[in-house]
Every structure is written in C-alpha cells, then in structure tokens.
Structure 1
Amino acid sequence: MKKLILGMAIVASAFAFGQKKDANALNAQLQEANKVAMDAYNAKNYAAAAPKFIEVYDLLKSSGQDNKIYMYYAGLSHALANNTDQSIKIYTDLINSGFTGVETTYTAKEKKSGQVVNLDKATWELMKKNPDYSDFKTEQTKSIESDLYETLSSLLLNAKKPTEALTIIEKGLVKFPNNAKLKEAQTTAYLQSGNTDKFVSGLKEQLAKNPNDATNWYNLGVMQAKNPATVNDALEAFKKAIELKPDFSDAYQNLVYTTIGDDAKVVGEINALRKDKPDEASKLIDGRRERFGKALPYAEGWYKANPKSLDAVTALKEIYIVTKNMDKVKEMKAKEAELTAAGAK
C-alpha cells in the first residue's frame, strides 16, 4: 500500500470559484477541510482523515470539479484505519469509474513576484493573455491504477472474500499482466477459495520468475506435504526455503514432521504387532529409528533458529530418545522444564 503524499493545497480553488456566488466562503471551507484532512493523516489519525477527504471531494464536486483523487485519499485513509468495508467500497467505485489518478497540473509564473501559481485549466488558458504572467507549463502525474487493483485485492483477501478478490485481480491482470503483487494475490485467493491445484500452480509460476523467494518455497512445501505422492518434493521445497533463509524456523519444523511422517500411526502398528509378529514389529521399529535419525539435523536446526520454542525442544527430546542419545535427552528435559516454567509455547 502506497503512502499518501499530501504536499498539495487546493490553491486552484480560488480561481475556479472566482465567478460564483459565495466563492470566498466556499473556498474557505475547502481550505479548512483540506487542512484538517492533511493534519489528521499526518498525525496518523486515519479514521478522522477519511471523512474530511470525502468532504473536500463533495465541496469540489458541488462547484463542478469531480476530482476523485480525494476519494482515493479517503479510501486509503479508511484502509489504514482498518475500516475495511468503507475502503473496499471506495476503491471499487474508483476502479469501476475508470479513475487512474492521472492529473494534469497547470502553472504560470507571476512576473512581479516571481511566484509560480497553480491554476485550473480554464483559468490557465485565460491567463495566457495576461501580460503579468509567463512560463505557462503543464505537468502530468503518474498513474496509480495498478495500486488501486493491488490495494483492493489485498483488502478483499483480508476480509476473506476470495471470489470477489479473484474478479478484481483478473481484471487487473488484463491491464497489468506482469504485476507481481497481483500474481501473488491471485495465488492467495486460490488458496482461500479452496482451489489448491491453482494455488500450487501459482506458486510454481512465481518461483519460476523468482526462485529466491523463501516464503513461496515454504508454502509450496506445505501444499506438497499434504499429498503422499509429493512428500519428497515437499522435503526439497523446505530445504530450499532454509537454504535461502537459514533461520526459517517454520521450514525446519515442517522438515522434521514431514520426515518423521505419521508417527502415532506407526507406533500403533508396532504395538499391535509386538506380541504375535515381533519380526515385523522390529522392522517397523528400525524404520522409525531411521526416520528419526534423518529428522535429527532438521530438529537441531529448528532449535537453533528458535531456542525458545517449547515445540522445538520437545521434538528434539523425542528424537534423542528414539536415537538413544540419553545425555541429550537429559539436556532437553531440563530445557523443556525451564521453558514450561517461563510459560513458553
């Protein structure tokens, strides 16, 4: 979400309303509302800023100036104030109206004072005939259209409205097909809507473009770990995430559990076989010990990345028990007691 730049004042208003009744009063209202809005925003009082920007917009519109940039400011302020519904409505209206944020500013220099003044287009054209002014210039602002799509997509996803988000994202991608933020939002929307196949495809597409994104490797691993046929792919994805981000605690954790597998199920099978089929039980025990041995370096990495995690300590303790490293078991039990006493989770 882009930061709001509020260095402007409504200096053109006095010219725009110069021929209207009560123009001075209306201009004074504009200046006051604009000042209150900017002051509130700069003070991070976004909830107060939003309605004042709307007031500025309404005052301008009443004079014939439909300047939607102030509705954009209002929508952004609502978003920053976590007034999600209001912000979504404003951003949706702006996109549907075709608003892009592109504005042309008109300036001229007053010869006597050397001051550059902002003018509305009609006044700027008239002033060209005035010998007291020179250096007539126009300047066009950059489009913020892509930001509108990005922000609205984010707002809809945060509001858990993936279907609506996908509609906006797909519309935005038609205009901005290479927009990385919209592509990322699309992947998230697929996940929220339960379309896991498209979610995984989106992750792979993003990783093809940016293979150094540790979070996307982690997310891909999470999805692949859900399918027994892609468990090995999940392990490689988690390893890639750690390679890119050595302190990625969650990736270590998932490596541990994915490597070990469904241990409760295995223990149940072992217990069921111990009496009547001890040889088969022994094979399962050996396989379990082998998996725990493979998980050990990942568990140690998890503990190193997050030494205050009770889950990491407990997992490491259990692995040391299975791999029969009793000195380490004693050490982890002490650490487990320490963390439990401190209220760690």
Structure 2
Amino acid sequence: MKKLILGIAIVSSAFVFGQKQDMKDINAQLQASNKAAMDAYQAKNYAVAAPKFLEVYNLMKTSGQEDKIYMYYAGLSYALANNVDEAIKIYTDLVNSGYTGVQTQYTAKEVKTGEVTSLNKGIWEGLKKAGSKDYTDFKVEQTKSVEPDLYETLSTLLLNAKKNDEALALIEKGLAKYPNNAKLKEYQGSALYATGNTDKFLTNLKEQLAKNPNDATNWYNLGVLQSKAPAGEADAVVSFQKAIQLAVNNPTLTNNAYQNLVYTSLGDDAKAVESINALRKSNPDEATKLIEARKERFNKALPYAEKWYQASPESLDAVTTLREIYGITKNQAKANEMKAKQAELEAKQPK
C-alpha cells in the first residue's frame, strides 16, 4: 500500500522575551543568546537557532527561572532544520513533562494609539489599581495550549523516522487526552498500517471516511486493503472508483487507483495460468472453463485499463497492461497500437 505522506506542520510562536535575571553577567549572556536565536530563526537558519534557544533555556534553568517555552522553540527549530533525532528528543521531553505552553497574558488598550499592549503583571496591576487614564480595557487571558500540537508533531517525526511502534504508543496516549483530534486519528491509521495492524487500520479508515467521505487517499487505502481479502473484490472496486472520482487534482493517486482497479479485476493471473497449464492434459474440460473465466476477467478489466490509459497516457505500466489485455481479448489492432506506444515510451526511458 502506498503509505500516506505526512508533512510536518509547525506554526511558530511569537518570540517575546523579558529580562529574567538580575545578575548582570548571566543576564548579558542570556540576552546575547536570545538575540542570536531570534536572528537565526527569523533568517530561517533553524540549525543555528535551535541550540541557541536551548542555551537560553539552560541559562534560565540554572538561574532558577526555568521556562520550557524556549525548549519548545528549540524543538520547533530542530524540526524545521530536519534534525529529526534532536527534535524527537526535545518533543518527547516536552510531552512527558506535561508541558502545555499555556501562559497568562495581561493586556490593556493604550488610549493614545488604540493598540492592545501586553504588560508585566505588576505594572498591569498597578495601572489598573491606580485607575490609569492612559490605559483601558484591562484583560487577563490564557494562551492556547500547544500540547495537541506537540503530540501531532512528535507523531509525524516518529512516523517519518520509521519508529512506528513508538509513534503508535504516543498517538494512542494523545488520543486518550484528545479523542476528537482529527490529525492524531489520521496518524493513527498510518501507524497501525506501518505496524501491521491491518484490521485496526481498516476500522480506522472506515471511521475517518464516516467523518470525511471526500478523502480520496482514505478511499484508495481502503480499496487496497479490501482487494487483499478473498471476497473483497467488489468492495475494492467501489473504493478505487470513489478515490478516482475524488482525486481529480491528484494525478499520482488517480494513476495508482486505476492500476489497482485493473489488477483487482484481473485477480492473481499468474496463479490462474499455472492452474490452466496444470490441467491441460489431465482435465482439458476443466482447463477450458478456467480459460473462459480468465477471458471474462480480462474483459471486465478492459474498460478500467482503457480509462487508466486515458488518464495516464505516458505511463508505461498503463500501456503494457492495456496491450496485454487487448491481446488476451483478441483485439489485435488495438494490441498493435499499444505495442507501438510501448516502444515509443521505452525509447524515452533513460539508458
């Protein structure tokens, strides 16, 4: 089965740093590291930004003012730098620590500019208590938790690193906390398939399709699973056709769905030919029945193969398969046409 491609979707947070330490030497080092991290991040030099954010985190931790948001920024930067091992290490630490990233923000609207400003808690309380005429609309708000994002990103990192068992365990842990998280449910399907849990994967696919029946990839994956079951051909055909219908802007998925649709209709042709050859002398009547059944399967696959070729006229697989089907169904003119097309495509192949 074609594995679902999982992209890392990471949204950076705004980097707002305050002075955390009165000791001048540590504070100077902290500010320098912070500036270097910010500058590197904004320049998209994530490989440089990541260790600098860790440096800020460690300096603050040493001074007794630990703030894991800088560890989060480091993990984010490592992920964006494609340093998967370091990103996994940091995200795992954050998840295991129960980090949520939730912060309390104290804001007020500046009368002169009309802009909402974030303030230090002490200053905010002082201005509000004094009834400041320069600020209005004093608010205390909680920032959104990043914990679901941590689970989603770490799941993706683990799957891309082929650490499928770890990914599955993490995803199930995440779903226990966030049972309606659509991305984790999607990643669960990929992890189940990668770990060989095809029955659970099938259940997961059906659940996903019940929620989103317009997902072409899930229909395709469902068709692949159904095609492997002895009595699943009819269901697989429906699923592949649904995938084709929905994948109008995805030529790769369309090509793969048509290919599987044709092969599902043909069945195990090598096994069929082997059975026919074994019976030709000992039981010619039975061999004839098998030959007719084989022709019927090829006739059934023919319209799918023709549509596959129409959708992917430069696909060598589509052309050679259609040529073989025309040959079996005794349409020699069309078989010759596909033979010429096959030669044309093969001539274009890199030597």
- Paired residue for 1:319? 325
Deviation (angstroms), 1:129: 7.0
Question: What is the distance in 2 between the residues matched to 1:344 and 1:252?
Answer: 25
Instruction: Please report how far the alpha carbon of residue 295 of structure 1 lies from its aligned counterpart in structure 2 after TM superposition.
Output: 0.7
Larger deviation, residues 253-262 vs 100-109? 100-109
Distance 1:272 1:27, change over 3 A: same
Match status 1:162 vs 2:164: yes
Equivalence for 2:40: 40
C-alpha distance in structure 1 between counterparts of 2:113 and 2:244, whole Å:
63
Provide structure 1 residue ranges, at least 5 long, that are not aligned to the other structure. none
Cα separation, partners in 2 of 1:328 and 1:113, compared to 1, 3 Å? closer
Change (3 A) 1:61 1:122: farther
Q: CA deviation at 1:141?
A: 1.7
Distance of 2:309 and 2:44 partners within structure 1 = 39
Change (3 A) 1:40 1:327: farther
Q: Secondary structure at the match of 1:100?
A: coil
| 1:32-81 Cα deviation digits (max 9, x unpaired) | 32332233233332222211111122233334332211111111221222
Q: Counterparts in 2 of 1:125-144, with a 5 A limit?
A: 125=125, 134-135=135-136, 137-144=139-146
Asked whether the 8 Å contact 1:273–1:281 carries over to 2, the reply is: yes
1:297 to 271, 278, 303: 303
CA 1:105 to 1:259, structure 2 compared with 1: closer, same or farther past 3 Å? same
Q: State the one-letter code of the partner of 1:224.
A: Q
Paired residue type of 1:140: Q
Query: Cα distance, 1:262 vs. partner?
Result: 1.1
Q: Matches of 2:64 and 2:107 in 1, distance apart?
A: 20
Structure 2 counterparts to residues 193-342 of structure 1, below 5 A: 193-246=195-248, 247=251, 248-342=254-348
Shift of 1:6: 5.0
**What is the CA-CA distance between 1:114 and the residue it aligns to?**
9.6
Asked whether the equivalents of residues 9 and 34 of structure 1 are also in contact (C-alpha less than 8 Å), the reply is no
The 1:205–1:109 alpha-carbon spacing in structure 2 relative to 1, beyond 3 Å, is closer
In the TM superposition, residue 344 of structure 1 has moved relative to its aligned partner by 6.8
Contact 1:50 1:75 in 2 (8 A): yes
Q: Structure 1 counterpart of 2:51, which letter?
A: P
Per-residue deviation, residues 284-318 of structure 1 (Å, max 9, x unmatched): 22221111111111112222222222111110110
Q: Which residue of 1 aligns with 2:74?
A: 74
Matches of 1:333 and 1:266, distance apart in 2 = 24
* TM-superposition CA deviations, 1:79-116 (whole Å, max 9, x none): 22222221112112112222111112335688999997
User: Which whole-Å deviations, capped at 9, do the CAs of 1:124-183 have from their partners, x for residues lacking one?
Assistant: 546667879745543432111111111111112222222222222122112211111111
Report the AA paired with residue 145 of structure 2: S
Paired residue secondary structure (2:55) = helix
Residue aligning to 2:5: none
TM-score by length of 1: 0.87
- Aligned partners of 1:269, 1:281: CA distance in 2, in Å? 8
What is the identity, as a one-letter code, of the residue corresponding to 1:66? E
SS of the equivalent of 2:50 reads: helix
CA pair 325-77 structure 1, distance change in 2 beyond 3 A: same
* Displacement of 1:272: 3.0
Deviating more after overlay: 172-181 vs 264-273: 264-273
Aligned counterparts of 1:236 and 1:273: Cα–Cα separation in 2: 34
